[in-house]
Structure 1
């Protein structure tokens, strides 16, 4: 099996460690199941759904009313994972799969979740500001629906993926494929059309999320990784609760140092396969673009030799 084939085989393993796409699918789905389970309980108990909205749903969704938001500041994060309608959830997951899978394949597993969170957070802030700063929206703020769903977050993923690889082809068997930017243009146009309606705050939030994804990749291409602090924090927490994993990482790092009981130029069996595995792991975590020229050359030679 060639290294590129091995890479593809690894990428489609949905149960692999650090798969941000699967994590986002799981969180969005679990929140949906939890909220709708409680909603069913209210319904079967013959409790009006208005009570469900006030007692349960409003604690997850983002209200544009400042007094309500400041009483529930956590909703700036929970709203991006909250879906009440099954069709809203399916729409989020389908768009997330379409763009998130490509993003992980090109940039590794460590970028998708930060982009999703950045997009959702900035989108929520823009939703609050637009509904309170523009008079045409502010006068109807009490009747404006609370924001929920991963629209802004997924828009960030979509723009980040398109900025990273605008000529990426979907459905290559259909006349050479559809460029990724065409799908993104349709996605953006749908939200842009809502700016002239009463739900303009949500449309502006989605477009703001898309802008975050665009600038994230532009900064990444300049060598500035906005996700570095977030990934470092996650690793620190992971190591805090999994000390054995930290010890294992230390043991692996020790293999890169020279040991006195080994000859400096001793040829070790399977060293080529080990290096190949290290490069494939690096692609899986950070993306092909982060390989050095030497690693890319090695991967090409290994592919030609079918190692």
Structure 2
């Protein structure tokens, strides 16, 4: 897909364990299939489309009116996985795959889902603030569509990935490739232009998502992990009824830590396939930027020589 100096490319397999990118796309696809199944049922029963919107779809999308939000608070979360149109779904998922692939390739699986969720939540907050605080939008609140789609979370992932590697080039076959920051800038400018319209709430939500993505990445680069509580919550929820699995996973992590821990301090007088495999495993779990300068130099040397 693209290139980044000093990186040895690895393939993110579709069924790989802890693949947050596949998880996000899968959840979004399942929600779309479920909603579309109900839409088909309404259509074949001869029920008007407007009834499907009010009775089904609007209970997944984020309403502009605070009174409606109080009756369906889960929409703050569900809206980011909800799409009404197949082309909207395909477009968002393709871009999520593009930016998410790069982010996971450089940093591992840990940060993608938290960045996406932070972007969606912050986007929801700013959507509600925007459409309810400005008089010109308040007057039109009855015609403002509920917010739907992965746009805010996608923008968070796009900006976070660009902040991490702004000069990462995609489509390298086209005159050396397009720097990632150029593509992200286009996204930002499109949403900026849409603020002067009835869709201002959604545009501001996307920009707010991008801003939180930037702040998240800056925090990671300072050594902070804003997604830790999400991982802890996920771990607690999915393992509270299965203590055996929890214990097995802890043993597996300890084994992995033992395997990877000594690598940065181990003397390696010559290139070995085992050493390369250890470093590639480390990238898969923790990301390229977890490598020390010595390890990055080793991989770069290994990529230029035949083991």
**Aligned counterparts of 2:50 and 2:273: Cα–Cα separation in 1:** 62
Matched, 1:114 2:114: yes
**Aligned counterparts of 1:104 and 1:254: Cα–Cα separation in 2:** 23
Residue 265 of structure 1 corresponds to none
Count of matched residue pairs: 288
Matched, 1:128 2:128: yes
Structure 1: give runs of 5+ residues left out of the alignment: 1-5, 258-271
Residue 188 of structure 1 corresponds to 188
**Aligned counterparts of 1:87 and 1:80: Cα–Cα separation in 2:** 16
Residue 85 of structure 2 corresponds to 85
Pairing 1:1-307 to 2, within 5 Å after superposition: 8-9=9-10, 11-240=11-240, 241=242, 243-244=244-245, 246-247=247-248, 249-250=250-251, 253=254, 276-296=276-296, 299=299, 306-307=306-307
**Aligned counterparts of 1:253 and 1:180: Cα–Cα separation in 2:** 36
**Aligned counterparts of 1:246 and 1:237: Cα–Cα separation in 2:** 15
**Aligned counterparts of 2:253 and 2:181: Cα–Cα separation in 1:** 41
Q: 1:41 to 1:247 in 2, by over 3 A?
A: same
Q: 1:106 to 1:52 in 2, by over 3 A?
A: same
Q: 1:295 to 1:114 in 2, by over 3 A?
A: same
Residue 260 of structure 1 corresponds to none
The CA RMSD measured in Å over matched residues stands at 2.4
Question: Is the 8 Å Cα contact of residues 167 and 180 (structure 1) preserved in structure 2?
Answer: yes
Residue 268 of structure 2 corresponds to none
Structure 2: give runs of 5+ residues left out of the alignment: 1-6, 259-271
**Aligned counterparts of 1:206 and 1:255: Cα–Cα separation in 2:** 38
1:246 positional shift:
3.0
Question: Is the 8 Å Cα contact of residues 157 and 210 (structure 1) preserved in structure 2?
Answer: yes
1:150 positional shift:
0.6
**Aligned counterparts of 2:48 and 2:256: Cα–Cα separation in 1:** 64
Q: Which region of structure 1 is more displaced relative to structure 2, 241-250 or 104-113? A: 241-250
TM-score, structure 2 as length reference: 0.86
**Aligned counterparts of 2:252 and 2:220: Cα–Cα separation in 1:** 30
> Quick check: which has more Rg, 1 or 2?
1
Residue 268 of structure 1 corresponds to none
TM-score, structure 1 as length reference: 0.86
**Aligned counterparts of 2:96 and 2:304: Cα–Cα separation in 1:** 35
